[in-house]
Structure 1
Amino acid sequence: MDLNEAAVFVKVVQAGGFSAAARQLQLPVSTISTRVARLERRLGVTLLQRTTRRLNLTEAGQAYFDHAALGLGYMLEAEAAIDASRQEPQGRLRITAPADLGDSLLAGLIQQVQTQYPAIAMELVLTERYVDLVAEGIDAAIRTGELRDSSLVAKPLGTACWALFASQHYLDQAPPLLTPQDLNQHHCLQFSPMGRDTWTFRQGDDSITIPLKNVTMANSIGIVRHMTLNGQGVALLPTYFCKPGLITGELKRILPAWQAQQDAVHLVYPRQRFMPPKLRAFIDIAQRELGAWFSHEQDAFPIK
């Protein structure tokens, strides 16, 4: 099948003749006539009845035109849509991230994307499981820790550092907390995926592991932070997750010289020859916005 023949035939009918079609397509009249004749031979029917004055469609020609014109119209619309998508970021963008990454962080990121590119429809998939981006139709993922799939493109965003936090209300009525060993006298709030029995801290080349005695555990980091804000104990939390509370003074960083686990944070997406503008726009914004959250400077919060 030669689609050029069908396209020329449709143009001849729409233009009302071979000469008019030739002018519109900027082709010789002989080329137009040859392609229509070749189409008729391939189909084994007469599509056009030619006279010196006018051009008439046969019954078969009318049926072929109706279907061919519709199909070519859809193809032109498809190419126009692709061309538009190359120019302006638009369409649905599906992003996945860990459920514990933080509401304010992700909400702010989505707001930035949709403010700058209102034609992008964002869909955020929060989950703790590993997501196969290609199989599940996900455009990009924010991932912490060691990367498992080397076939993905990975853009480093920074480091998620875990540290101790408590509310001023809790600190006012609790025993002094000057060294990691003092945690034995405090109620500890633990995000259970981080472990259930101990906390390990590092200061330069030194490290210490503290057994958890009086502890409350939850598998939701949001619940752990709320309990911390409520003055229910000392929690090990990521510094980026506590940034709003630190700014308002609701949370205090404890033992700032000691740090716990550190996780690399990456933005990953499948390799592709032609990157959609919507994904390029998201990557640029995510690198800027999330890079600020996960930079080392964000982790240097003193006790207030």
Structure 2
Amino acid sequence: NDFPLVLQVGEEVVSLGRIACPIILTTLLIHSRSIVSTLFLSHLGDVELAGGSLALGFYNITGVSVMKGLSAGMDPICGQAFGAKRWAVLSQTYQKMLCLLLLASTLLICLLWLNLEPIFLRHALGAGQPTRAQWTSVIGISLAFGYAILACVFTNFLGEAWGKLYTQDPDVVKLISIGLPIVGLCELGNAPQTAACGVLSGTARPKEGARINLFAFYLVGFPVAILLTFQLKMGYRGLWLGLFSAQVACVSMMLYTLLKTDWKHQAKRAEELTAAVGERDDLEDGLINDSNDER
């Protein structure tokens, strides 16, 4: 039976919640540092606010994003190895990535942020359960849609109140009140496409997610933003609408890719990835050699 019972769906939602809630809390605490810092900077002056925002952006792009990108490289391997109960592969991959992250963090002189996130989809594939993996992805993306709706409603109700927390400049407050509703619309695409990207990562297909993001944001969103902002004279609103178009394109392609996914093939592929490759039992080599067969 390809359709799970209501009880099974409920159990899956609870399982995802147990994983998601600590991660959500951790993420909120991490980002609250930037929010609090920006709030204090806003009371020092516009120049200080602009400088602090630029510094935080530079830190996130050149530091945190590099660390997160490196650590994400072990997600498909560790998740599927856990599902297949290949503890040696899990331990070796973790140790190798830890050494790489320590080296990278030393060179970048930034804090090490390593987050080994167990995803049930990877576990299910590693355990040879394609139907469960498929429904885990469906439930996860559905929950992301629910969150996106709440975020959209929240940002639309904030209005000028959010801008006044940071500055009393009427022009800045007006721009924020214009952009927030569109940001809420963007979240309708951002949340589910982020969940879908996690599914692609869990099935060891990060290249597909990267290609979709590249196409959506640089070949769709960027030209649309330029067209709306400069050609159609929509100004600031046009920039945000360009981002919205990118999110729509991205989530559409992500969902289409998942709809075309052969989950039985992915389960078989996960079994091959976690199988011994030669005498070294090198799972990374298996992942690299199998990358040409990605779907």
TM range (shorter): under 0.3
**TM-score (norm. length: structure 2):** 0.22
The structure with the largest alpha-carbon Rg is 1
Q: Which has the higher contact order (CA 8 A, sep 6+)?
A: 1
More strand by share: 1
